[in-house]
Amino acid sequence: MRRTRGALAVAAALTPVLLLATPAVAAGPAPAAPAVTATVPVDGTPVDEMSEEELRMAILRIMADEDSGRGVDREANKALDGTVEDMRTFLKTGYRLAQAEDDAVAIARILADPNSGRGVIREANKALDTFTPEALRAFLETGYRLARAEDDRVAITRIIGDPKSGRGVKREAGKALDTNTPEALRAFLETGYRLAQAEDDRVAVARILADPKISPALRAAAEKAIEGTPEELRYFLETGQYEVDG
């Protein structure tokens, strides 16, 4: 695992390397790629044939894209403050290089995220080792999603194999694995697992309530918990019931 090495290497050497060799998202995982290409503006007019006003509008469209990062904004502003040729150069090459700078920063942040799994770390490091604008963008547009799905699949398999997992959790986890799309796997881990766990917890609390031998205090606490949130159910089963009996 090269999580720290990769992130620090990018932070230390990013700007000089990119200026010599190498697009763009602001910070954050799996951002969407800008729809505008670096060499052909939205209207299809070749850069060399664009008027000053058309060049300016093309750059402003790039800056208005919410996915444009700091590097892109910085270089776009420089181009707008410069000559017509500066604007042409930005659209031909500067945009691609500035976007690569932002992409490398985004990947470094993904590597620094303690929640990133082995598959994500492996593919992120591959992109940084290749270190071309195309490799960086490909990771953020598709590679990250697929690598995270790989990690999610492993995490869900572990949940199913956990002897503490109840029927609801195993049922919903199985559905996610059967669907086997990155979206279904992520949805289970982000929301489905919590809700399925709450279903199982509610059954467990109901069993406690079905015991005629429990104390009035425990019964009151269980009745409150069974009407509560998933977090309140979990707390009651893990801690609260023992505090009442104590």
Both 148 and 187 in one domain: the answer is no
Model confidence at 1, in pLDDT bands (50, 70, 90)? Answer: low
Both 120 and 221 in one domain: the answer is no
Both 209 and 132 in one domain: the answer is no
Q: Answer with the one of 121, 152, 183 that is the final residue of a domain.
A: 152
Residue 26 exposed, middle or buried by CB count within 10 Å (0-12, 13-18, 19+): middle
Mean pLDDT of 209-234: 96
Both 209 and 237 in one domain: the answer is yes
Q: CA-to-CA distance for 232 and 218, rounded, in angstroms? A: 15
Q: Answer with the one of 125, 152, 179 that is the final residue of a domain.
A: 152
The whole-number pLDDT of residue 45 equals 84
Both 208 and 126 in one domain: the answer is no
Residue 133 falls within a domain, yes or no? Answer: yes
Q: Where does 30-165 show beta strands of DSSP type E?
A: none
Model pTM score: 0.76
Provide the residue type at 67 as one letter. D
The whole-number pLDDT of residue 244 equals 86
Q: CA-to-CA distance for 140 and 105, rounded, in angstroms? A: 11
Each residue's pLDDT tens digit, 170-189: 999 999 999 999 999 999 99
Residue 114 falls within a domain, yes or no? Answer: yes
Structural domain that includes position 184: 165-245
Q: For residue 71, what are its two tokens? A: 């590097």
Provide the phi-psi class of 106: left if phi over 0, else alpha when psi is between -120 and 50, else beta. alpha
Which pairs with CB-CB distance under 8 Å and at least 24 residues apart come from 59-65?
Answer: 59/87, 59/90, 59/91, 61/36, 62/34, 62/36, 62/95, 65/34, 65/35, 65/36
Q: Which residue has the tokens 């990062």?
A: 69
Both 169 and 204 in one domain: the answer is yes
Model confidence at 4, in pLDDT bands (50, 70, 90)? Answer: very low
Is residue 5 over pLDDT 50? no
Is residue 20 over pLDDT 60? no
Residue 160 falls within a domain, yes or no? Answer: no
* DSSP character string of 201-244: HHHHHHHHHT-TTS-HHHHHHHHHHHTS-HHHHHHIIIIIHHHH
CB 107 within 8 A of CB 140: yes
Low-confidence winner among 5-14, 150-159, 222-231 (lowest mean pLDDT): 5-14
Number of domains in the chain: 2
Both 25 and 133 in one domain: the answer is yes
Nearest Cα to 167, choosing from 199, 192, 191, 189? 199
**Total Cβ atoms within 10 A of residue 51:** 10
Both 26 and 134 in one domain: the answer is yes
Q: Which residue has the tokens 């990018």?
A: 10
- Check residues 35 and 138 and name the one with the higher pLDDT: 138
Mean pLDDT of 105-112: 97
The whole-number pLDDT of residue 2 equals 58
Both 213 and 97 in one domain: the answer is no
Mean pLDDT of 179-203: 98
Q: CA-to-CA distance for 196 and 189, rounded, in angstroms? A: 10
Q: Answer with the one of 129, 152, 175 that is the final residue of a domain.
A: 152
Both 213 and 138 in one domain: the answer is no
Both 31 and 91 in one domain: the answer is yes
Q: For residue 181, what are its two tokens? A: 């799309």
Residue 157 falls within a domain, yes or no? Answer: no
Residue 67 falls within a domain, yes or no? Answer: yes
